[in-house]
Chains A and B, each alone.
Chain A
Amino acid sequence: MALTTEPLRPSFEQPPARVAIRRAANYEADLETLIYETLREFDPPVHGKSVLLKPNFVEPDPRCVINTHPAVVAAARESFLRLGAREVLLGEAPGNERDTEGILETIGLRDFTGPLDGIFVDLNLDDVERVPTRTRASKLKELYLPKAILRADFVVSMPKMKTHHWAGVTLSLKNMFGIVPGNCYGWPKNVLHWAGLTNSILDINSTVRPDFAIVDGIVGMEGNGPTQGTAKSAGVLVMGDDPVAVDGTCARLMGLVPERIDYLKRAGLLLGHLKLEKIRQLGETVESARTPFQVTEAFRQLVA
């Protein structure tokens, strides 16, 4: 379950993480086979369960440089259904754009998934429940969370591999900003910014820790991300059952030092593994798949 009341355990007490790096040259590749075969290796407990995929749908960008590509989302949905999931919903709460359907139609999601009615939940407008945060990194203490997230048995964070002009990178942990409803927090979710970006990322992910992460790094974004950067082909999908390890691996693939990214460094203490020796790498190695991403001047110190 994504939402749990079990006490948090420090990362050093947690079992080693597994992260798979798979090559995919473009979005015409057989992504469903790639994702399905990788998921089988991980054997996630989704049979008969409700799965919620949380992509990163930010802006109505028809080229899909900003957003998780719908081909990846559709392939993941089919893969979880093949693994026996009872239902696989897609949920997103775009942070700046209020017309969520406009984003979905512009990026052509329906062309890949079929009819959206019944499978897509606008998390910005879903019913909410008030949930205490499991950490107190920020002053928030509690979060209003959509019922679709709270009812899901298994939450999958599906970000785009991007640099971020305030956080350094935006990957599976930062992507979870998009479960918080604009209805309660605004467009953008300015409450989270005022509570501190790093601290909010930690509180959200400690409260709803994604059970799995699938990062769209086939074409990512470098420079002034997350919306005004440049397309960067990295040709990979990165998947794993520990979002911190997945994000750390992505940062290394991007030519960055994850321990220098504030929220990743802190997440590595409590929410998962950042240390290389605690991550079992599947598929490609980081060295063989590394594609350095450019960062803005403010984040020059992150470069390896």
Chain B
Amino acid sequence: MESACATREPISTFLESSFREDVCLRLLAESQNSDGGWSSYPGSRSATEPTCLAFLALSAVPDEAVAKSIRRGMEWLRRTQLADGGWPAVAEQEKSCWVTALACMALHSQRDESGAVDAGLEWLCANWPAEGNLWWRIRAKLHRKTTTVQQDSMLRGWSWTPGTASWVEPTTHALLALRAIPARLHPKSAAERIDLGERMLYNRMCPGGGWNAGNPLVYGVGGMPRIGATAWALLALSEYRERAENQQSLEWLRRQYDSIRGPVSLALAQICLSVYDCAPPRFERGLQQLYSANQFLHSIHAAAWSAMALSAPNEWLWGPRRKGGAHGADH
């Protein structure tokens, strides 16, 4: 299929900007909690996802004070890791969940050698979504003709929380984490999980391209793709960029770009289109317009994603360059 991105935009789109420093990075730097973590909004309790995002965004800043912040963030992450190797989304939770992939990526990006990443990957690969259990398989056999959702539930990716089904975004997080971390550090089951996860994502693509949370067809009606889920899926599948599904979804994302009204969606779309070499040059202007509307509602997520989208490419999101080809490629 012809590439959805015929012309490659110059990489200078991503050069550092004052908006990145004065708004995004400043908010992140000033919002670190005294315990070393970040919360979703300044003044709230530290949580795993905003901590990972903040320090992934700040890790691109060559500054000693920032490096100290990142070290404190790493300590917070190591302290909050649960005994089973995973991480909870918030301190009040006692169960590991979807944020484990993000925590592994964040710690690995700082070359953490505490063993926390190994334990996190073990948890990630050992926890299967619930649709693979015996009861599910029996039910699936008995109700083959169900028309509620039409997807192959034997293609298991990752769930948001233990004991539930696979969904697009947690699957993409796990795939990106496993791609960012060298295969020699992977648990034994990683290759199988990666293969299943990638096939699951392609199986869950919406008719016509793009992804939503994970139900491409409900009662025979095609699901509406969403910006965030599509960007995540394309990032996780960027090794297969020439595949028709990728190109179709990329084209959908490009068509939506000018209608995006949320900073997180815009930043994710920008990162994704950059990875596919077709980022629009008007990103920063659009981002500033969104900022002027609500000041991102002081969201750490929005500030972190915006900073990352305005930075030089993050290795963990960009992944290996153009391997092309089929499933089972060398991870």
Contact = CB atoms under 8 A, between A and B. Distances in A.
A183 B261 CA distance: 22
Interface stretch (B14-22, B161-169, B271-279): B161-169
A-side interface size class: 35 or more
Contacts of B224: 59, 227-228
A227 B224 CA distance: 9
Contact of B262 (A60, A115, A224): A60
17 contacts: A98-B169, A99-B264, A101-B290, A101-B294, A102-B227, A106-B262, A117-B295, A120-B297, A122-B40, A125-B41, A130-B92, A183-B90, A184-B90, A185-B160, A187-B213, A188-B167, A228-B221
Contacts of B263: 99, 101-102
Interface of B: 39-41, 44-45, 47, 49-50, 89-90, 92-93, 97-98, 130, 148, 159-161, 163-165, 167, 169-170, 212-213, 218-219, 221, 223-224, 226-228, 260-265, 290, 293-299, 301-302
Given A129-B92, A186-B159, A102 B297 contact: no
Contacts of B49: 183
A99 B262 contact: yes
Most central of A97, A102, A122 by chain B CB within 10 Å:
A102
A185 B161 contact: yes
A110 interface: yes
B293 A110 contact: yes
A116 B261 contact: no
Interface in A57-83: 59-60
B294 A102 contact: no
Given A227-B224, A296-B219, A101 B296 contact: yes
Given A99-B228, A122-B297, A186-B161, 9 more contacts: A98-B169, A101-B262, A101-B263, A101-B294, A125-B299, A125-B301, A126-B40, A184-B97, A224-B221
B90 A105 contact: no
Contacts of B90: 127-128, 144, 183-184
A296 to B, nearest CB: 6
A191 interface: yes
B294 A110 contact: yes
B226 A96 contact: yes
B297 A117 contact: yes
